Amino acid sequence: MSVLQTATRPRTPPALYALTAGAFGIGVTEFVIMGLLLEVGADLGVSLSAAGLLISGYALGVVVGAPLMTVLTGRWPQRTTLLALMAIFTLGNLACALAPSYGLLMAARVLTAFAHGTFFGVGSVVATGLVPPGRRASAIAIMFTGLTVATVLGVPLGTWLGQALGWRATFFAVTAIGVIALAVLARYLPRTAAPPGPGDWRADLRALARGPVLLGLLTTVLGFGGMFVVFTYIAPILTRVTGFSEAAVSPILLVFGGGLVAGNLIGGRLADRRLVPAVLGTLLLLAAVLGLMTFALQDEWLTVVFVGLLGAAAFATVPPLQMWVLSRAEGAGQSLASSFNIGAFNLGNALGAWLGGQAIDRGLGLESLTWVAALVPLAAFLVALWALQLDRRHAAATPRSAPCAEGAG
């Protein structure tokens, strides 16, 4: 897995772009249902709220499936694991397209979600192994670009296709994307050996239960949750608070998507330079953007600018947070830690949506969501500082308790 060096800049391995293709397909599957709830509900004879549970069911599948699938495939070569997960993803989308009832569609969505967390978790570990140490966070960012491009292009196109030809056509199209991604992964992923030794997933879980790793996962939940306090309700915020027409929402969301792509790549480069300042700095930046957005919502142009900044600031946290957890799980089941962190991102989504709903239900109104959201990454910032303080105490104690460096925490 050597990387070809040039006199100017190391060449990006094709395998990294193969992971990006897989991430794109999975990203489309996760989010495209949001634009097809009315069509799905009408066709299967269920309410809009019941159709909306297809989103929650997928998120739950990610949270449960990430550690489960990582444990089940823990003794497989990483290449085999990723190909198997992409096959599950492809078959799951085909099952969605053919599902004759709501219950079977829900089951197919959950099955598909089982591949999500472990693909991104194992894929992140593979991505960092394809490049020199100084580019590991950028490698994760390149892989996650597939997810951001899926949000920008795949979801609007999938929604248009579903509205024009029926929602099943969208899932057939995503199945085709899965077939292409599977072929690209099979062509470019390097062959790897199975991990040495018998392996012990219980030991990996015990290692993940250490304080530094748990605090890293909590930082991810809170760091990413703040965005979803606002993004879950972005359409009513734009129309009811700022005064945009409903037709203007989709173009504004394209600005948000552009911010996602830019922020993701910038976050990767910052984390490669200095990981801890990147984690702390991006969390503070996200909190600042959310807080200042409170004052921008009364002006249409400022709102558009801040929607783009929100996308950039939110996804600038993703590569640093993923590397943050990977670094804290060094030598302690990195694939499992990485997969748990993908579940933590999804828990952040759920936490943000719930917190935003609580603010609305308690009479604070849509106008409050931005400043409420700003408190969440601030909490993540404090958790990260707490983790760093524990690191310093552990480092100070290590010389007196040598030679065992893994016992504290």
Q: Whole-angstrom Cα distance, residue 394 to residue 213? A: 14
pLDDT tens-digit readout, 107-165:
999 989 888 888 988 888 888 888 888 888 888 888 888 888 887 777 778 878 888 89
pLDDT tens-digit readout, 333-344:
677 777 788 888
Q: Which residue in this structure is represented by tokens 């969605």?
A: 96
- What is the pLDDT, as a whole number, of residue 275? 92
- What is the pLDDT, as a whole number, of residue 50? 80
Residue type for position 403:
P
Q: Whole-angstrom Cα distance, residue 9 to residue 337? A: 31
Delimit the CATH 1.20.1250.20 region(s) of the chain: 12-196, 200-397
Q: Whole-angstrom Cα distance, residue 80 to residue 121? A: 14
pLDDT tens-digit readout, 216-250:
889 999 998 898 888 878 878 888 899 988 778 77
**Tokens found for residue 162:** 């579903």
Q: Whole-angstrom Cα distance, residue 119 to residue 206? A: 22
> CA geometry: angle at 124 spanning 287 and 119, to 5°?
105
Q: Which residue in this structure is represented by tokens 């760091």?
A: 223
Long-range contacts of 5-10 (CB under 8 A, 24+ apart): 10/131, 10/132, 10/135
Determine whether 7 is exposed, middle or buried from the number of CB atoms within 10 Å of its CB (0-12, 13-18, 19+): exposed
Q: What is the pTM of this model?
A: 0.77
- What is the pLDDT, as a whole number, of residue 140? 85
Return the CATH superfamily for domain 200-397.
MFS general substrate transporter like domains (1.20.1250.20)
Mean pLDDT, to the nearest integer, of 44-68?
A: 81
Mean pLDDT, to the nearest integer, of 324-331?
A: 74
Q: Show Cβ contacts of residue 57 under 8 Å, excluding neighbours closer than 6 positions.
A: 106, 109, 110, 113
Q: What percent of the chain has pLDDT over 70?
A: 88
Q: How far is CA 138 from CA 79, 149, 176, 332, 337, in A?
A: 21, 16, 28, 22, 19
Contact 67, 343 (CB under 8 A): yes
**Tokens found for residue 257:** 């998507």
Higher-pLDDT residue of 263, 155: 263
Q: Which residue in this structure is represented by tokens 């570990």?
A: 125
Radius of gyration of the chain (CA): 21
Determine whether 49 is exposed, middle or buried from the number of CB atoms within 10 Å of its CB (0-12, 13-18, 19+): exposed
Return the CATH superfamily for domain 12-196.
MFS general substrate transporter like domains (1.20.1250.20)
Q: Whole-angstrom Cα distance, residue 368 to residue 363? A: 9
Q: How many CA atoms lie within 13 A of 32 on its CB side?
A: 33
pLDDT of 319 higher than 80: yes
Contact 228, 376 (CB under 8 A): no
Q: DSSP for 330-377, please give it.
A: TTS-HHHHHHHHHHHHHHHHHHHHHHHHHHHHTT--GGGHHHHHHHHH
> CA geometry: angle at 249 spanning 246 and 252, to 5°?
155
Contact 305, 296 (CB under 8 A): yes
Q: What percent of the chain has pLDDT over 90?
A: 31
Nearest to 151 by CA among 317, 39, 26, 297: 26
